[in-house]
Amino acid sequence: MDEKKLQEMVDEITKGKEFDRFQMSEIREGFKNGLSMKQVLLYAKPEFEADIYNQQMQEIRLGIEHGLTIEQIRVFAKTEFSANSNCKYNQMAKIREGFEHGLTIEQVRIYAKPDFGQDQMEEIRKGIENNLQISQVQMFANPKFNEFQMKEIRLGLEHGLSKDQMQMYVNQKFGNGRMSAIREGFENGLTMDQIQVYADSKFCYDQMDELRSGLEHGLTIEQVRIYANPKFSAGQSDAQDNQMREIRLGLEHNLPLEQVRLYADQKIDCKQMQKIRTGFENGVTVEQMKQVLGIAEQEKPSVSEKLDSMDHTPCTTTDSQNRDETVK
């Protein structure tokens, strides 16, 4: 198309309307790329932005150029949808991509809502593309769930968890890390009764992970409940401070409950717990340990400085753990 003809078409479509230079550029681009007057009219409206911060015109134009129908274009050609490619709110692009991936208008409309950010839209689209039923997608197609929570719910559904299992963690009070701990517990074969030991918002992700590890390593529910207390640390603030791990290891190493209970006390720090645990594992008896600790009969454990004379290794957490509620 020669410049004269191009300018005539631009003049015709913009007559009586005010467009800034960015909008004019998008209108010209459409004609240069072979779009018809009717097609360009879909986005040649002053209310659609075209600057670097909100490229609504560009997203509509790309949809047309990629072969979308007018009916499909009209689903996202609305000023209520943003199109900022430099932030998490390029909603138009995610709606357009849904159509380009073969989704129907009915499917796209599940997430074509201004309340969803682009990453939330992406999670919903993935669920649809991965053959989840609409009723399943609607379990997480809710703006109260962030994109990380949506992912955990989507994965549970895709991995075949039952409705009862899903209900254990499809709750706004659980961040994505907590959701992951519950989902992975089910996927690793834990029962509802076992999951209920730690599926509680009073536990942070790291604590849930320690409780789940104990159950997955063969501890009974009664054993895990010995350290199922949110007052015990689990490395959430300091990876070197993991009281739950020390109690769990004592149980996994088959220490008698009398020995484990001697140090399963929140007043005993992780390093001291490790000294006591390794002492028992090396043959120290309960009575000998009580003498070392200076514990009188019938008294609660309280650690004496005498522990410093015992050989020990640093208290560390070797399990690889993620942190809850953190945007990666």
Output the pTM of the full model.
0.83
pLDDT digits (tens, 9 = 90+) for 245-280: 999 999 999 999 999 999 999 999 999 999 999 999
> To which residue do tokens 């957490």 refer?
317
Kindly give, in sequence order, each residue whose CB lies less than 8 Å from that of residue 175, ignoring residues fewer than 6 positions away.
148, 149, 205, 324, 325
Q: How far apart are CA 93 and CA 210, in angstroms?
A: 41
pLDDT in tens, 137-151: 999 999 999 999 999
Polymer length in residues for the chain: 328
pLDDT of residue 288: 92
Query: Distance between CA 273 and CA 270 in Å, rounded?
Result: 5
Determine contact, residues 169/183, Cβ cutoff 8 Å.
yes
